[in-house]
A and B are shown apart, each in its own frame.
Chain A
């Protein structure tokens, strides 16, 4: 697999350099919304959706910024445009797809300030991906995020039944779980580097 082939970009974003477990992006929802499996799934889907939208936005903004040679405004442009785009998508969904809105809607405002979204936009710019590659990168990142948050919530549902000492309960325990998950995801490193 060549490093710029679409399948490699997808796997790289989803597994080898998983956004949550290897790059530490999107930890807030990873710790905050991973209590139950039934909320973790929609959260993952909503995040993937926003990632896709912001990836497209970021690609075109960057084209404009580079063409006018004003790349020093990149960060300000990304964060404002992504935030407004998500808001627009939210309003559109509410009007035209109320069922989808009810499923994803409550998560959308939370996601805008999620660093995985801005991180995705910045990384695809630094890696100089073209439009299709950026899209696939966003899909991979979303799939990886969904996978991580669902695994985490599965583990935490089990742990609810066990007896944990008081000082470890809560965030410390979640982080320890995250560490173990991250350790197991390290096994994916090296995938695609062989030939």
Chain B
């Protein structure tokens, strides 16, 4: 909290504020606003459990790599910073990969290769470059937690909607009984695109109602 240099001038406060945490929850939500890391969002959101597990795994990687990058930020030379960040991120992803295997093999099989693909999730490299490398440990961790939670919530919303419509259940618990004919396409790939699209429309509509201007970026703002 001593050596923060803010250049943009928008945020002058240097401590850990609510805004540091809440940035990722709504205003800069990684999925709904920045449209980052969509690959895992769509691929594993076919059930609420998978979505939650993926969200938490990503949050873990976000927070721990953010913390390490923030700690090492004065030691890493500028020229090799991206390479260093990628190695750090890949390390934590490998760790989370083994932890999930140890916790539950079924969950591991359901998520498949997408746990390892957290490495190329642009949110993590983007946060390391844009935030963790310029802020104190405390702020970096709090911000990463907020971003991770925003990611998890968006993923969970998508996963729940798809599971309710496509399988008639939530977290594996049957909701409607036998009379309900599941809308199977919703848990198949097209359903991922369509539900996320509708979710974005709803998000835009709410923001329009609140009179906020939120500019959605299209595609990835690559970290490099």
Q: Are A and B in direct contact (Cβ within 8 Å)?
A: yes
Tell yes or no: A56 within 8 A of B by CB.
Answer: no
A-B interface pairs (CB < 8 A), number: 135
Tell yes or no: A161 within 8 A of B by CB.
Answer: no
CB-CB under 8 A from B91, the residues of chain A are 76
Name, among A22, A29, A80, A115, the residue most crowded by chain B CB atoms within 10 Å (CB to CB).
A115
CB-CB under 8 A from A79, the residues of chain B are 86, 90, 119-120
CB-CB under 8 A from B93, the residues of chain A are 75
Q: How far in angstroms is the closest Cβ of chain A from B97?
A: 7
**Are B120's CB and A114's CB within 8 A?**
yes
Name, among B83, B91, B188, B219, the residue most crowded by chain A CB atoms within 10 Å (CB to CB).
B219
Residue of B nearest to A26 (CB): B39
- Mark out the residues of chain B between 1 and 39 whose CB falls within 8 Å of any chain A CB in the assembled complex: 35, 38-39
Complex formed: what's the CA distance from A186 to B125 in Å? 33
Complex formed: what's the CA distance from A119 to B224 in Å? 20
**Are A183's CB and B185's CB within 8 A?**
yes
CB-CB under 8 A from B176, the residues of chain A are none
Residue of A nearest to B97 (CB): A75
* Binary B-proximity of A21-49 (CB < 8 A = 1, otherwise 0): 11111111111110000000000000000
- Mark out the residues of chain A between 98 and 123 whose CB falls within 8 Å of any chain B CB in the assembled complex: 109-110, 112-115, 117-119, 122-123
Complex formed: what's the CA distance from A29 to B219 in Å? 6
Tell yes or no: A72 within 8 A of B by CB.
Answer: yes
- On chain B, which size bracket covers the interface? 35 or more
Tell yes or no: B122 within 8 A of A by CB.
Answer: yes
Complex formed: what's the CA distance from A33 to B224 in Å? 17
Q: Which residues of B contact A (CB under 8 A)?
A: 35, 38-40, 42-43, 83, 86-87, 90-91, 93-94, 97-98, 113, 116-117, 119-122, 125, 185, 188-194, 196-198, 200-201, 204-205, 208, 216-220, 222-224
* Binary B-proximity of A51-87 (CB < 8 A = 1, otherwise 0): 0000000000000000000001101100110010000
CB-CB under 8 A from A26, the residues of chain B are 39
Tell yes or no: A89 within 8 A of B by CB.
Answer: no
**Are B119's CB and A118's CB within 8 A?**
yes
- Does more than half of chain B's interface fall in helix, strand or loop, or is it mixed? helix
Tell yes or no: A93 within 8 A of B by CB.
Answer: no
Known: A23-B43, A167-B205. A175 touches B196 (CB 8 A): yes
**Are A75's CB and B116's CB within 8 A?**
yes
Tell yes or no: A170 within 8 A of B by CB.
Answer: yes
Complex formed: what's the CA distance from A179 to B181 in Å? 21
Q: How far in angstroms is the closest Cβ of chain B from A107?
A: 11
A sample of 30 cross-chain residue pairs with beta-carbon separation below 8 angstroms, ordered by A number, consists of: A24-B38, A24-B39, A24-B189, A27-B219, A31-B218, A31-B219, A32-B219, A33-B219, A76-B87, A76-B91, A79-B86, A83-B83, A83-B86, A110-B222, A113-B122, A113-B125, A114-B120, A115-B120, A119-B113, A123-B113, A171-B200, A171-B216, A172-B197, A176-B194, A178-B197, A179-B193, A180-B190, A182-B189, A182-B190, A183-B185
**Are B197's CB and A32's CB within 8 A?**
no
